[in-house]
Structure 1
Amino acid sequence: MRVRDLDETALLARIFPLLPVGEGVDVGPGDDAAVVRAADGRFVVTTDVLVEGRHFRREWSGGYDVGYRAAVQNLADVAAMGARATSMVVSLVMPADLPVQWVTDLARGLADASGPATVVGGDLSGGDAVVVSVTVHGDLAGRAPVLRSGARPGDVVAHAGVLGASAAGFDLLTSGAATPDDGAPGAATSRTPYVAAYLRPEAPLEAGPAAALAGATAMLDVSDGLLRDAGRLARASGVDVDLAEGALMRDVTALVPAAVEVAVATEDPDGADRARTWVLSGGEDHGLLATFPAEVADRGLPNGFRLVGDVRAPADDAPRVLLNGEVPHVATGWDHFRP
């Protein structure tokens, strides 16, 4: 059955039962708009979009994968503010020949990734390619939001989550060294964690509120690469963020086997070094990069965080990200408007 075989009402009737119904929603899907409670008088809001051919390929990603990923990338942004997600709105553009099963799988992926967040509505439209837009609301529970602009000299830099795994999965797929099936649950290959990390990233969502409670001074979601996002934090705070490459070596070492596989598949004799590039510049792992006062680190960072650098006063009027005290000579990460 294809989307064109159903009208909008019939398609929605297949989607709604698959989506979670949570607390804090007075009016859910079915009316002109939803009504969601904001317990402390404020709510966090973020939105993101996935475009077929730009952010995902249907020959690699099923509907479940795309729904899961669309939810996670927004949920991570809410967590990076120190909040917990409460509700989301989802809009879907799709061609008429898209299988209905693909759409219901997308709903299942959204539901499984969303945790306590309820899908309260959205929109459907026809188009030439699949486009998924998700808006998520979050609750700060009375706390101040953790911004990118609060880092101060003397703070430590910490990271929660994984680095480079999603980029490794992407390169394994594009090189032909892996297939999408290698990311399926239970697939017994060494590539499985990386392909799975690309298709269905796992973000350390609870680490965000935990960091806020512990006194994080700044935080953001690492979606476009460690160096690029650390640079954003540095510029917002007016500081230098100095990352210690030694603290990242375990991530690099773990990715070397995947880098070798890509090197063999692409006949690239220097390809093994791409593991370092994945860690420094690879995006879409959706970990959290945060800064904390030194005394917080002395007492013990929140669960899941590890030290990866420190914050310094800028050497001049150009705050920047550094690697071992020097400007890094490596690609800094993903840019939506550049190849």
Structure 2
Amino acid sequence: MDASPAERTPDTVGSLGEVATLARILPHLPAGDSTLLGPGDDAAVVSAPDRRFVVTTDLMVHGPDFRLAWSRASDLAWRAAASNLSDVAAMGARPTALVVALAVPAETTVAFLEEFAATLRLACDTLAPGTGVVGGDMSVSPTMTIAITAFGDLEGRAPVRRDGAAVGDVVAAAGVLGRSHRGLARLFAEAVDDEGAPDARIADRLRASDPDVAWHLAPRPPVGDGVLAAEAGATSMLDLSDGLALDAGRVARASHVTLDLDGAALGGSPADVRNALAGGEDHTLLATFPAGTALPGSFRAIGRVVEASADGGVTLDGRALAAAGVGDASGWDPYRAWSGAAG
């Protein structure tokens, strides 16, 4: 007698092999409006009517970047897509295509990868409609690793770089700041068992009840605001992936100015300000605009650009961060943060 579906051993990438696994995954992926030739050949062909294209890549590794005990396949797909789509948006470009490379343990179920692929489609359709997944690669590794390369179309616009902020500009942010940092802090504080190992059941409960936890696991950045910012005349822009203080400092150094941030606009309380300054992986957008510009999309003013000063590239209410009592606002650095194996 054949085993019932409940008793059947799940197919894994190790039991099926690459060809059969890909046959299960590829139908879930979006084709994309700019795709001329998708998966199946040695390389894809994507249209570039502007004769230029924006390209970026991002890597997620189990341990320093995510915990499988806390993250579902859908979380990983959404987060991987969001981080790359937001980088394209930060250049003022419209995302057009993703290339996805996966290295997973041999015991990974094909159902896990099907969920990953289906969520990539949903993330693209939601965050950047018309974006396709046009190819990639798969391999086996004891450590799950996800690498995505994203492409974008400038549609005739100049790219919005980091070095264009000018004295007098308004500093603005799109989306909510510090949300991912708050969510991660709660996971580390509560989503662990008695021995300190990540606990999936607690994480699921937190995900359902706390929007900050849900955002950390699967962020939903305002990708469309990147094009809106470029069209509104943004003088500089970048994706807020490593924390406001660190990323604003990158704009300040590139533009040879100081970004003076408004504590009240960051939430007012010391905890809110610290979260906004130090928290990474929000994947929202930071931009500067000429004074008087009607801020587009979800952008809101959080400061102003002033002359470069001895207090550093980023100040808070006119004071150096060290003197403003916000503690460590150095931001996310995987090399400093990672100190051991993940559960």
For the criterion TM > 0.5, the same-fold answer is yes
Letter in 1 for 2:331: G
Asked whether the equivalents of residues 312 and 320 of structure 2 are also in contact (C-alpha less than 8 Å), the reply is: no
Match of 1:220 among 238, 250, 255: 238
Query: How far apart in 2 are the matches of 1:39 and 1:93?
Result: 33
Task: Determine if the alignment matches structure 1 residue 144 to structure 2 residue 162.
Answer: no
User: Aligned in 2, Cα 1:151/1:33: closer, same or farther, shift over 3 Å?
Assistant: same
- The match for 2:186 is 172
Query: How far apart in 2 are the matches of 1:214 and 1:76?
Result: 18
1:43-89 C-alpha deviation (Å, 9 max, x unpaired) = 00000000001100100001111011000000000000001100010
Asked whether the equivalents of residues 314 and 320 of structure 2 are also in contact (C-alpha less than 8 Å), the reply is: yes
- Deviation, 1:183, is 5.2
- Deviation, 1:180, is 2.0
Letter in 1 for 2:266: L
- The match for 1:238 is 256
1:95-126 C-alpha deviation (Å, 9 max, x unpaired) = 10112221111112211111221000000011
- The match for 1:181 is 204
1:254-275 C-alpha deviation (Å, 9 max, x unpaired) = xxxxxxxxxxxxxxxxxxx544
- The match for 1:123 is 137
- The match for 1:86 is 96
**Ranges in structure 1 where 5+ consecutive residues have no aligned partner:** 253-272
Query: How far apart in 1 are the matches of 2:308 and 2:205?
Result: 45
Q: Percent identity?
A: 50
Asked whether the equivalents of residues 266 and 272 of structure 2 are also in contact (C-alpha less than 8 Å), the reply is: no
Match of 1:45 among 51, 55, 62: 55
- The match for 2:81 is 71
TM-score for both structures, normalised by structure 1: 0.88
User: Aligned in 2, Cα 1:173/1:95: closer, same or farther, shift over 3 Å?
Assistant: same
Task: Determine if the alignment matches structure 1 residue 278 to structure 2 residue 275.
Answer: yes
Asked whether the equivalents of residues 244 and 309 of structure 1 are also in contact (C-alpha less than 8 Å), the reply is: yes
Query: How far apart in 1 are the matches of 2:154 and 2:93?
Result: 5
Asked whether the equivalents of residues 95 and 131 of structure 2 are also in contact (C-alpha less than 8 Å), the reply is: yes
| Superposed CA RMSD | 1.5
Query: How far apart in 2 are the matches of 1:138 and 1:177?
Result: 37
User: Aligned in 2, Cα 1:5/1:177: closer, same or farther, shift over 3 Å?
Assistant: closer
Asked whether the equivalents of residues 87 and 238 of structure 2 are also in contact (C-alpha less than 8 Å), the reply is: yes
Query: How far apart in 1 are the matches of 2:114 and 2:307?
Result: 51
- Deviation, 1:276, is 3.5
Task: Determine if the alignment matches structure 1 residue 100 to structure 2 residue 97.
Answer: no
TM-score for both structures, normalised by structure 2: 0.87
Asked whether the equivalents of residues 34 and 131 of structure 2 are also in contact (C-alpha less than 8 Å), the reply is: no
Provide runs of 4+ in structure 1 moved above 3 Å.
273-276
Query: How far apart in 1 are the matches of 2:41 and 2:152?
Result: 21
Indicate the SS of the match to 1:150. coil
Moved more, 197-206 or 104-113: 104-113
- Deviation, 1:132, is 0.2
- The match for 2:302 is 308
Which one has a larger percent helix, Structure 1 or Structure 2?
1
